[in-house]
Amino acid sequence: MSVIYHITTAGEWERARAAGEYTMSTRGTTLAEQGYIHCSSTGQVALVANAIYQGVPDLVVLVINTGLVRPQIRFELVPGSDEPFPHIYGPLNTDAVVQTRPYRPGANGRFSFPEAD
């Protein structure tokens, strides 16, 4: 199983589960506004969290099975990145999320993420 990850709040995820699809792109930006949902590979999760989600309470990481995602997934370079990030081009069907993980920073205020699942 190939997986990608997405960081969101517990509240946003609960709303998505009730609706059957997830439509946020990233912090404060919807899929409709951005055109895709920002995701990460394992090695990119902490980088994104430290850059965008500092101080945001009740974070969760969605573990997404790429084989179950209905919209197209494209791996694309973003400015300042050496490796492409996965982007989902449409609403994420919630049944593609195989796990959710609470996500909190360490004692030093910085996020980390395990390199292996």
Contacts 24+ apart (CB under 8 A), 47-52: 48/7, 49/7, 49/103, 49/105, 49/111, 49/113, 50/110, 50/111, 52/7, 52/26, 52/27
Question: Is the pTM value of this prediction over 0.85?
Answer: yes
Domains and CATH numbers, the chain: 8-29+42-103 (3.20.170.20)
| CB atoms closer than 10 angstroms to residue 105 | 17
- Write out pLDDT tens, residues 30-68: 999 999 999 999 999 999 999 999 999 999 999 999 999
Structure tokens at 82: 């050496």
Residues paired with 97 in a beta bridge: 64
Q: What is the pLDDT of residue 22?
A: 98
- Write out pLDDT tens, residues 64-80: 999 999 999 999 998 88
Distance CA 74, CA 16 (A): 22
Q: What is the pLDDT of residue 79?
A: 87
